[in-house]
Amino acid sequence: VALKRMLNFNVPPVKNGTGEPVWKVLIYDRFGQDIISPLLSVKELRDMGITLHLLLHSDRDAIPDVPAVYFVMPTEENIDRMCQDLRNQLYESYYLNFISAISRSKLEDIANAAIGANAVTQVAKVFDQYLNFITLEDDMFVLCNQNKELVSYRAINRPDITDTEMETIMDTIVDSLFCFFVTLGAIPIIRCSRGTAAEMVAVKLDKKLRENLRDARNSLFTGDALGAGQFSFQRPLLVLVDRNIDLATPLHHTWTYQALVHDVLDFHLNRVNLEESTGMESTPAGARPKKKNKKSYDLTTSDKFWQKHKGSPFPEVAESVQQELESYRAQEDEVKRLKSIMGIEGEDEGAISMLSDNTAKLTSAVSSLPELLEKKRLIDLHTNVATAVLEHIKSRKLDVYFEYEEKIMSKSTLDKSLLDMISDPDAGTPEDKMRLFLIYYISSAQAPSEIDLEQYKKALMDAGCNLAPLTYIKQWKAFTKMASAPTSYGNATPKPLGLFSRVMNTGSQFVMEGVKNLVLKQQNLPVTRILDNLMEMKSNPETDDYRYFDPKMLRGSDSSVPRNKNPFQEAIVFVVGGGNYIEYQNLIDYIK
């Protein structure tokens, strides 16, 4: 909503469809591009009057009779380039939108350039949009994509980090979270774990919200803000969790569709990039190997199949794609059959008019054609994506890894020794083996003895693993208080259902032989459990000492005694150091 409003020169778009939109140019930087691209397609932009969308730092020609909407971060180089645009009189008028708030001094730089270029009247509006976060789903956002390594787990937990670097990282995270709440139009109640990076974020965010509320005239949370009234009765809960409370989950191999796509394919900002395999046909000797085509697909909220199945276990997805394909083929045959009854294989028009009783049938078939084509596009898309995922599962035995790790994490008996898994040359990449071993190391109540550890290390080395992560996790385990009581993951192990009959029959697109049909048992991961305790006001040693911040309270006193005794209706969970699709899916299942 906020983006559409911005593209409409910062007035809410009017509903009545009178005439054309105003044609305009959109100029963004990489940050702006990342925010817009998961949300608005090129077609949607065009419907809103955007004829051209260009990167700020590309060579742009002057288009003197068109207004330009800028959507950029207020960085030094961006500001310089905008001033240059003003001096070169590129556009008719300039609507400057900053993703994050611009400082006074930089605003003055633009003003000076505008005066110098005699273009003051052309700068129509300057806005801080507070949109410095990326929305990937209706219920999921990430902070950034461009320099995500700057706010990554590694950046925050580096042993040699300086205080100033840490401050910068925390400020970056807080800026994005602040933007998120401005856009939501709600002031959260903040809970966080003590003594962690999450606590630093909470303190800074509380301060920033507080300062904004104190300046009543310019507060971003009063008046006709976008989200006003959306959460008027109830304020949302913001749970800030530190990644260190649970390092096993992000290492865990995945089994649901979206998490698998993210884990094994190249999946960023809802777009998956695949290399098309050219099939198995043998190339004649001496011929150059065929070049692989790269294809990219957008997995969006409008993709019904994706929305329905992104949280399903993989074998179920394969089965559903197959079912969709069969129902599509039936429909397609029906259209063909009607055509042949009607003799429309290039017959003259006269024959058609006589067959009026079939007309109704044909009309319905023709009217469902666009729908049919869209269905076909989605089926092809998911056939390709699921096939690519399946290749990884089979070549790396990911089903075996997933099942084995679930057993480790739920302390079940293991049917096969860890050493065998690591030494099996056919199972997984060195990274897969390292992930498995780290999960074992993190989850075990007593660390393995030195003798055992040496044996594991040797096996890992022989498998080609880099042991640096193990060194880090060893130190981490020694440091964290959690080490005394490893996080419990419940005791549900996935149940193999026997393989799907349908997917096994030879007519299927997917050769699932040998892949275990594992079904997930519902259990809450640590992040979900923490949320559950805090939302439902349950007393639990895990969360009882979480700090409590209410930016609306005048006294800045931190009482960890929640004043609000009622359970919360809305919550935002943010993991400092990075969440993942497993946890996202787990939270969604918990809500259901």
Tell me what percent of the residues of the chain surpass a pLDDT of 70: 81
Dihedral, 549, 178, 183, 579 alpha carbons, nearest 10: -90
CA-wise closest residue to 469 among 444, 441, 427, 447: 441
In the CATH scheme, what architecture does the domain 397-487+508-524 have?
A: Alpha Horseshoe (1.25)
Q: Which residue has the higher pLDDT, 93 or 564?
A: 93
pLDDT digits (tens, 9 = 90+) for 53-67: 999 999 999 999 999
Q: Do domains 1-128 and 397-487+508-524 have the same CATH topology?
A: no
What is the Cα–Cα distance from 527 to 578, expressed in whole angstroms?
Answer: 12
Residue 548 DSSP symbol: E
> Which two structure tokens, joined as six digits, stand for 370?
């666009």
Residues 272 and 265 sit within 8 Å (Cβ to Cβ): yes
Q: Any alpha helices (H) in 368-494, and if so which ranges?
A: 369-396, 398-409, 418-423, 430-443, 450-462, 468-479
Cα→Cα distances 494→376, 407, 411, 537, Å: 33, 8, 13, 30
Burial category of 121 from C-beta neighbours within 10 Å (exposed 0-12, middle 13-18, buried 19 and up): exposed
In the CATH scheme, what architecture does the domain 1-128 have?
A: 3-Layer(aba) Sandwich (3.40)
Does position 231 have pLDDT exceeding 60, yes or no?
A: no
**276: β partners:** 293
CA-wise closest residue to 260 among 144, 385, 140, 359: 385
**Residue labelled with tokens 């199972």:** 427
What is the Cα–Cα distance from 542 to 531, expressed in whole angstroms?
Answer: 11
Class of domain 268-276+294-341+362-396 (CATH, top level): alpha beta
Burial category of 369 from C-beta neighbours within 10 Å (exposed 0-12, middle 13-18, buried 19 and up): exposed
Amino acid at 157: N
Q: Which residue has the higher pLDDT, 516 or 320?
A: 320
- Per-residue confidence at 505, pLDDT binned at 50, 70, 90? very low
**Which CATH superfamily hosts domain 135-246+526-591?**
Sec1/Munc18 (SM) protein, domain 2 (3.40.50.1910)
Residues 492 and 521 sit within 8 Å (Cβ to Cβ): yes
- Per-residue confidence at 334, pLDDT binned at 50, 70, 90? confident
**Residue labelled with tokens 């020794």:** 417
**How close are the terminal C-alpha atoms of the chain, in Å?**
26
Domain spans, the chain: 1-128, 135-246+526-591, 268-276+294-341+362-396, 397-487+508-524
| Predicted local distance difference test score (pLDDT) of residue 342 | 63
Reading phi first (left if > 0) and then psi (alpha if -120 to 50, else beta), residue 197 is in alpha
Residues 192 and 198 sit within 8 Å (Cβ to Cβ): yes
Q: If residue 547 lies in a helix (H) or strand (E), which one and from where to where?
A: strand 547-549
| Predicted local distance difference test score (pLDDT) of residue 365 | 66
Rg (CA), the chain: 28
- Per-residue confidence at 358, pLDDT binned at 50, 70, 90? low
pLDDT digits (tens, 9 = 90+) for 124-174: 999 999 999 999 999 999 998 888 888 899 999 988 899 999 999 999 999
What is the Cα–Cα distance from 475 to 441, expressed in whole angstroms?
Answer: 12
